[in-house]
Structure formats: structure tokens, C-alpha cells
Structure 1
């Protein structure tokens, strides 16, 4: 609210939940979350200790897994990943409407 981004709250909560869940399921160990307000909106980063990048997958209508990155792709303004010395960072940006 202090960042004047309340309109993004529900979507950001969903996308953060998806990325953190992916990190827990696929990387384990230490996971870090960073939210940063910038001039156009919000940058969210989830850091984990695996270097395996996330992948967009084609899903069947009955698939029970694999929707996290699809949601990030569809609901964020932009997303991506970068490797670090100890793992990777998956990030997305959101802009207020």
C-alpha cells in the first residue's frame, strides 16, 4: 500500500506463491524473495540454489502440475531468469493499471 500498488496485490501474491512453490519443489534449500518498487511498477525476484531454468510447458486440460510459469507468463508484464554463482533468480515485473 505504501508503494501505491494495491491494485496488484492479488496477482502478485498468486505469482509469488507459484514461484516460491516451484523453488521449494525443484530446488529446496535456501530460497529468497525480493520485491522492489521501481519507476514503472514492481520487480519480484525469487532466488534458489538450482541452476535449472523454468520452462513454459504446453498443458493438457487435465494437467495437475506445470501451470506456475504459465501463470507468470500470462499475468506479469515481463518475466525471465538469470543464473547466479550459486543458483538462479526467476523474476517478473508488474505495472499498475
Structure 2
């Protein structure tokens, strides 16, 4: 994680289960809402997508989520670790708002697209045993 000053932080080691995303979402709400509701709302959506991707697409027994909120800026940082070392990319280079659905709305496959569209920064970093997908959400100025 980044070495920024943070007022509140949590490390979650969640079983790779459908409920993991809900647990992470509740933690984001508790950490971010006191600082900025928009950051909390976007953070909850994005952590849900990142954790759901990790649960669905990896084989490890757990998903690790690191969360923090910078007390000075209100910026939320989230990183989700899973056991799949393959780097991730959004499904398209075309912004979501400009896409035309081919065969109706997709029911899945939009997680990274949402993270890219709604976070202020994001990335994917491989390390031994898997990868971290991370994002930052900053308050509006």
C-alpha cells in the first residue's frame, strides 16, 4: 500500500465466498462515510466489483482487502489481492458511456470498466502468488 498518512485503515482476509464483497462494502462505508459520502458511495461500488472479480475468477481460499482513508484529503485507497497472477485490463478502450450494446446489456464483465471509469486512479500489480488490483477515490473539489 502507499505510504500516505491515513486516519483509518482495515485489512480484511475474507473467505473466497459470495458474501466477501458485502463484508468489504460494509467496511468501506464505515471508514469512508465520515469523511465524504461520494467517496464512500463510489468506494462501496468499486470494492464490490474488485472483490467479486477476485472471488469469481481465482482459486485461492481467501481474498485480501486493504482499505484506508487519508485524514487530510479524504482520499480512499483500496487494494484487493487474489491468487491469479494474470494482469487485468478493462474489456474495452472505449469509455463505458460511449459504448453501444451489441446484444443487450451484459450481466457481467464490467467490473474493471467500472473501476477505471469511477476511480481517480487504479492499477494492477503482480507479485509472487497473485496480484493486487488497487484504486483511489478522491473527494470532489
Interval containing the TM-score (normalised by the shorter chain): 0.7 to 0.9
Deviation at 1:46, TM superposition (A): 0.4
RMSD: 1.7
TM-score, with length taken from structure 2: 0.62
Distance 1:6 1:28 in 2: 34
Runs of 4+ in 1 over 3 A off after TM superposition: none
- SS of the residue corresponding to residue 55 of structure 2 reads helix
Gaps of 5+ in 2: 1-32, 93-98
Name the structure 1 match of 2:118: 75
Distance 2:130 2:100 in 1: 30
- SS of the residue corresponding to residue 31 of structure 1 reads strand
Q: Is the 2:77–2:134 contact (alpha carbons within 8 Å) kept by the matching residues of 1? A: yes
Structure with bigger RCO (C-alpha 8 Å, 6+ apart): 1
Name the structure 2 match of 1:35: 67
Deviation at 1:60, TM superposition (A): 5.7
From 91, 108, 115, give the equivalent of 1:57. 91
TM-score, with length taken from structure 1: 0.87
- SS of the residue corresponding to residue 90 of structure 1 reads strand
Count of equivalent residues: 96
Gaps of 5+ in 1: none
Bigger-Rg structure (1/2) = 2
Distance 2:81 2:49 in 1: 13
